[in-house]
Amino acid sequence: MDDPPPRLLLVDDNIRVIGGHFLELATLLMDGGRELGYCSRLATHQSFDASQLGPIHPDRDVQPIFGVRQMVNWSLGVDGRSSVRRDRSGRNIGGTKLQNLRQRLLDPLHHKCKHPQFMLKQWADDFCETFEQWSVTPQDRLVLNTGDDFVLLALANALDRIADRHPGLGPLTIHVIFHFAIADPQTSLEQKRQFVAQFRNTIERMDRHHIHLHATTDSLTEQFSEVGIAVNSIPYPTRNRQAIPKRKRQDNGYKLVLAGTPRSEKGTRMIAKLFSMIDAPFLSSGRFSLSMQKQTKPWKRFVPAPLGAMIERWNRNARRQQEAFDRGSLEIKPGNMQTSDYHDWLGTADVGLFLYAPHRYVARCSGVLLEMFICGVPVIVPDCCWLADQVRQANRDGVVGYIYRTLEEIPGILEQLEQDYDQVRGHSLQHAQVISRRHQPANTLSQMGIAPIAEPSLRIFPYRIAS
């Protein structure tokens, strides 16, 4: 009997809601897999309501199963909160006696569902359940869409259990994609050592399987290389859109778009200061307008007082908080938008503005920046991070964006951009073609070593939501 054709099996416990780049990444990888001939399945957090996805290709099977999320909180990397490495059960073992004592005292303070030992066990339980329900075989290609050192620890635990249950199972092929930086200028040498020790120990536990490690930026690959870990650099996939042609300036000026729901690493605390600097000279005067996504927290501390009160009234009255606030010079969109609505909104941008914290993006990719690039939209980004690296590289062939060191430089950049807009937009449209080719989802999978199936299966699996 012939072996079944290999499938592309994706896992991301961070997918909980419509919108955001966790879901976008999974969707794009499934699109790329289809181009290469694979049928795809996706495991998400159990709270994800996949019925909101709307009609999608019938070969996709969505499994809302994982009970824990934000595993990265216990990472030893930049985006985590841990400072000492842990054993397979989640106990801290790597620090000094004082560090270990402190961590043992702090761990019980966390809610049970967020305790590292509980999260490791629950994630491994859910992965094993997914493995059984999907009837995974060595021919399949498993992909952890959002990897980190703590998720790897949970994966190793799950694979140990699977080996006990299926002693005759051949080695599995598993791809792990890393997005988050290992270190930034504030990371101590000791914490780097803890990361490396835990990481290597975890990988060694899985040596009977084919584990492929990938990073979505060259700078992150270099960080791994500096600590002696070989990781493959891949292009972050981007939705292939036709670049928006040049438009005439609107009545309310050029439209600045801050895409993505504001979070600490995306400049939440900088929004009020930005308003105070650009409202009178640029927004109220009609030279520019500003459009952004909202979050559920009160807006009063993010914008000037009169405007904050107006937005608060709208926020209370908006039905299910799905309507957009539009004051002419200011537009606020819902945080979680359908994919088509989100990309239609990006298509209205004249300029992409990024208030990102550089230390969080020192080696981390921004999917929003790539989306702006692929639409041919000029951008304004902070220095000393991956975003600035991309703009500098692109600017060699003609200016497509501006880089600021401090927020106070943004008004001057807007003055310059207003004068040079048509020329910068033209260069951005040319750069969009480069980005479109490089960041195609099928190309990302190919760079991961996931080869096309010579004779794609003609079987159609009905789209369903697994119970």
Please check whether residues 296 and 428 belong to one and the same domain.
Answer: yes
Does 271 score more than 70 pLDDT? yes
Give the rounded percent of residues in the chain with a pLDDT score beyond 90: 54
Domain membership of residue 11 (yes or no) is: yes
CA atoms within 13 A on the CB side of 464: 5
Query: Could you identify the residue written with the tokens 């909160």?
Result: 81
Q: Give me the pLDDT at residue 92, please.
A: 82
Domain membership of residue 36 (yes or no) is: yes
Please check whether residues 401 and 343 belong to one and the same domain.
Answer: yes
Segment 364-382 mean pLDDT = 94
Q: Which residues pair with 213 in a beta bridge?
A: 176
Segment 24-49 mean pLDDT = 93
Please check whether residues 287 and 357 belong to one and the same domain.
Answer: yes
Does 110 score more than 80 pLDDT? no
If phi > 0 it is left, if psi is from -120 to 50 it is alpha, else beta; for residue 33 that is: alpha
Beta strands in 6-119 (DSSP E): 7-11, 39-45, 60-66
Please, which pLDDT band fits residue 427 given cuts at 50, 70 and 90? Answer: very high
3-state SS, 110-166, equals CCHHHCHHHHHHHHHHHHHHHHHHHCCCCCCEEEEEEECHHHHHHHHHHHHHHHHHC
Can you tell me whether residue 401 is helix, strand or coil?
strand
Q: Give me the pLDDT at residue 308, please.
A: 61
What does DSSP say about strands 141-147 and 60-66: parallel, antiparallel, or unpaired? unpaired
Query: Which of 101, 83, 116 lies closest to 190, judged by CA?
Result: 83
Q: Give me the pLDDT at residue 244, please.
A: 67
Count how many domains the chain has: 2
Please check whether residues 233 and 327 belong to one and the same domain.
Answer: no
Please check whether residues 319 and 432 belong to one and the same domain.
Answer: yes
Does 410 score more than 50 pLDDT? yes
The domain in which residue 118 lies consists of 7-237+441-465
Does 99 score more than 60 pLDDT? yes
Please check whether residues 273 and 227 belong to one and the same domain.
Answer: no
Domain membership of residue 31 (yes or no) is: yes
Please check whether residues 376 and 391 belong to one and the same domain.
Answer: yes
Please check whether residues 225 and 281 belong to one and the same domain.
Answer: no
Tell me the per-residue pLDDT of 247-257, one tens digit each, with 9 for 90 and over.
666 666 899 99
Q: Which of 238-242, 396-400, 410-414 has the lowest mean pLDDT?
A: 238-242
Q: Which residue has better confidence, 143 or 328?
A: 143
Q: Give me the pLDDT at residue 251, please.
A: 65
Can you tell me whether residue 385 is helix, strand or coil?
coil
Please check whether residues 299 and 357 belong to one and the same domain.
Answer: yes
Tell me the per-residue pLDDT of 286-343, one tens digit each, with 9 for 90 and over.
899 888 887 655 555 556 555 565 556 555 555 444 455 555 678 878 777 777 888 8
Identify the H or E element spanning 278.
helix 271-278
Does 262 score more than 80 pLDDT? no
Domain membership of residue 97 (yes or no) is: yes
Domain membership of residue 183 (yes or no) is: yes
Please check whether residues 276 and 414 belong to one and the same domain.
Answer: yes
Please check whether residues 167 and 186 belong to one and the same domain.
Answer: yes
Tell me the per-residue pLDDT of 195-218, one tens digit each, with 9 for 90 and over.
999 999 999 999 999 999 999 999
Domain membership of residue 423 (yes or no) is: yes
Please check whether residues 182 and 314 belong to one and the same domain.
Answer: no
Q: Which residues pair with 464 in a beta bridge?
A: 61
Domain membership of residue 77 (yes or no) is: yes
CATH code: domain of residue 407: 3.40.50.2000
Does 457 score more than 70 pLDDT? no
Domain membership of residue 411 (yes or no) is: yes
CATH code: domain of residue 226: 3.40.50
